[in-house]
Structure 1
Amino acid sequence: MKLFTFDPAPNPKRLQLFIDYKGIHLDTTQVDLMAKEQLEPEFRAVNPAGTVPALVLDDGTVLTEVIGACVYLEEQYPEKPLLGTTALERAQVFSWDHRLFNTCLGAVAEILRNGNPAFAGRALPGPLEIPQIPELVERGRLRLAPAFKAADAALADSPFLAGDSVSLADIDLLVSIEFAGWVKESVPEGCDNIQAWLPRAKEALGIS
C-alpha cells in the first residue's frame, strides 16, 4: 500500500492518527497543498478529485475518503480496534464520525475556505473553481460552538465519545479542536467535560 497525504491538513491527520495508533507502516508521499501539488497532473492521475489523503491498495484500488481507508485498515489490522467491537459500538463510532465531520470540521472549513484569500476561487476542496461565499464565514462560526457543546454533553457520562474505549470518534474531535485554531476559534468556555477528556484521549492514543 501507498499513502499520499499532507501531514498538517485535518483529514490527513485524522487518518495518520488512526495509522499511528495501530502501528501500521506505509510507504508515504507528501503532497504539498500549500504549493497546490494536489492539482498537478501527477497527483490527479492518482486521485482525479485532487484531495488527500489517498490510500492506494496493492491491487491499485484508491481509497480517497478517510472513513473508507479506516474501515479497510481496521479489517487488515484488527488489533487495537478504533471502530468498535460490537454492532452498537460501531454504530456509535460511525454516527459520531459523521456528526463531527458535518458539524465541527465542516464549520471550520466554511470559515477557512470562504474567508481566507488563499482559497479565492477554491472554496471547496478539489479542482473545481468554486467562488467564496463570505456569508458562510459567519454561518460557520455560529455552527461551531453548538457542535462542541454537543460533544461536551456526550462526554458527561462516558470517558470517550463512543463508549469506554478510544475510537476514531475521539480522533475526529481532537482534530476538530486543532483545526478550529486555524481560524482562531476554540472550545467554548464551560465545556469542562471536553477539557477533562483531552489529556485522557491523548494518553489513550499515545499522543505526547
Structure 2
Amino acid sequence: MKLYDCQMAPNPRRARIFLHEKNVDVEKIEHNILGGDNLKETYLKINPWGTLPALELDDGTIIREAPAIFRYIEATNPEPNLLGNNPKEAAEIEAWERFSELQGMGAIGEFFRNQMEGLSGRGLPGPASLEQIPALVERGKKRAAWYYEQIDQRLGESEYIGSDRYTAADITAQCAIDFANAVGLPTPETCTNIARWHKAVSARPSAAA
C-alpha cells in the first residue's frame, strides 16, 4: 500500500500514527502542501479532491481522508482496537474523534489558512480557488480556546479522551493540539489535564511517525 503524505500537516499525521499503532507498513509518498504538490495534475489524477492523506491499496483503490483510512485499517487489522470494542464504546470514540476534527482542526485551520502567505487563494483545502478571509483568524483563535476548555474538562474525567485507553479519539486530538502549538495557538497553562495526557501520548513511539 501507498500513503500519500505530508509531514507538516496534521491530517496525514493522523493516518501515520494510526498505521504505526497497528504495526502496518506502507510506502509513504511525500507531497508539500505549501508548495502546491497536492494540486498538481499528477496528484489530482489520484485524488481529485486534492486533499491529503490518501491511501492507495494494492489493487489501486484510493481511500481518501483519515477517518476512512482508520475504518479500512481497523477492519483489516483489528488489533489493537482503536475504534471501539462494542457499540457504546465505538459511538463514544467517534463522537470525540469527530469533535476534535470539527472543533479542533476546524478552528486551527481557520486560524492558519486565512493568514498564511503560502496559502493565498487557498482559504480551504482542495483545488477550488477561495480567497483568505482575515476575520476568520480571530474566530479560529476563539474556537480553539473553547476546544481546549472542552478537552481539558473531558480529561479531568477520563485518562484518555474517547475511552479508558488510547484510541483514534486521542490520535486526532493529539494531532490537532500539536499542530495548534506549532502555528501559534499554544495550549493554555491552565489546561493541566491536557498537559498530563499530552505527556503520555507524546511518549508513545507512534508520536514520532
Q: TM-score, normalised by structure 2?
A: 0.94
Q: Does 1:117 align with 2:122?
A: no
Once residues 69 and 29 of structure 1 are traced to their aligned partners in structure 2, the CA distance between those partners, rounded to angstroms, is: 16
Bigger relative contact order (CA 8 A; separation at least 6): 2
- Residue 198 of structure 1 deviates from its aligned partner by 1.4
Deviations 1:96-155 (A, max 9, x none): 111111111111100111111211110011111001111100100111111111011111
Could you say which residue in structure 2 is the equivalent of 1:147?
147
Structure 2 counterpart SS, 1:55: strand
Matched residue type, 1:57: L
Are the counterparts in 1 of residues 34 and 119 from structure 2 also a CA contact under 8 Å? no
Matched residue type, 1:144: A
- Residue 201 of structure 1 deviates from its aligned partner by 2.1
Could you say which residue in structure 1 is the equivalent of 2:55?
55
Q: Does 1:19 align with 2:19?
A: yes
Count of matched residue positions in the alignment of Structure 1 and Structure 2: 208
- Residue 61 of structure 1 deviates from its aligned partner by 2.1
Could you say which residue in structure 1 is the equivalent of 2:190?
190
Structure 1, unaligned runs of 5 or more: none
Structure 1's 24 and 41: CA in aligned 2 closer, same or farther, altered over 3 A? same
Deviations 1:43-62 (A, max 9, x none): 11100111111111233321
Once residues 107 and 83 of structure 1 are traced to their aligned partners in structure 2, the CA distance between those partners, rounded to angstroms, is: 24
Structure 1's 30 and 191: CA in aligned 2 closer, same or farther, altered over 3 A? same
Deviations 1:67-112 (A, max 9, x none): 0010000011111111111111111111111111111111110011
- Residue 206 of structure 1 deviates from its aligned partner by 4.7
Q: TM-score, normalised by structure 1?
A: 0.95
Once residues 118 and 206 of structure 1 are traced to their aligned partners in structure 2, the CA distance between those partners, rounded to angstroms, is: 29
Once residues 90 and 204 of structure 1 are traced to their aligned partners in structure 2, the CA distance between those partners, rounded to angstroms, is: 22
Between 139-148 and 51-60, the greater mean CA deviation after superposition: 51-60
Could you say which residue in structure 1 is the equivalent of 2:83?
83
Structure 2, unaligned runs of 5 or more: none
Matched residue type, 2:112: L
- Residue 20 of structure 1 deviates from its aligned partner by 0.9
- Residue 205 of structure 1 deviates from its aligned partner by 5.6
Structure 2 counterpart SS, 1:34: coil
Let me know the Cα RMSD of the aligned residues.
Answer: 1.4
